[in-house]
Amino acid sequence: MRYTPAAAALSLLVLVTGSMGAAKVNDAVDPRAQVLLDDGRAQLAKGMVDAATDSFEAALAVDPAHTGTYIALGDAARKAGLQGKAIHYYREALDRDPNNLSAISGEGGALAEKGALEKARTNLARLEGLCGKGCAETEALSAAIAHGAAPKVVAAEAVKPAPVIENN
């Protein structure tokens, strides 16, 4: 009985300390990085993928803790046809914020474009559990899965014409 108040205080301390570690960190972006992100999104909308990637990388250098920068880099990599690199950026964002809907949807879309439809469906199920079937991220991922894998680009060296023999 005489240890009950001390045990209660100790358990309260452990509870508060544990919840502080799991608390969501403020994901406020540095204003300089926000300007670069806005520029990059505008460039990406115009189809200038390389310039957008440069802006996003500069924003990452200014504020490396902002999750949205990794998602933007993933979007730019997908638009450039670099699905593997896009998956890397989306997973980096998911490491920072495991329930980020845009990162889950982007990773699933990149997986679908790469041909990993089963893994993309896993992301779709996760999205449906988080936000339902009607949210924009779920609809975008459903469309990417329905579209299927992106066509493979073949190098000119891989296609060799058969020699044609003509009689004179």
* Cβ–Cβ under 8 Å, residues 96 and 70: yes
Residue-wise pLDDT tens digits, 77-129: 999 999 999 999 999 999 999 999 999 999 999 999 988 889 999 999 999 88
Which of 167 and 56 is assigned the larger pLDDT? Answer: 56
CB atoms within 10 A of CB 62: 18
Kindly report the backbone phi and psi dihedral angles of residue 59, in degrees, each rounded to the nearest multiple of 5, phi listed first: -65, -35
Average confidence (pLDDT) over 54-64: 93
Question: Where do we find the tokens 């902002």?
Answer: 66
When pLDDT is cut at 50, 70 and 90, the band that residue 7 belongs to is: low
Residue 102: predicted pLDDT: 93
- Token readout for 86 is 């896009």
Residue with tokens 């950026």: 89
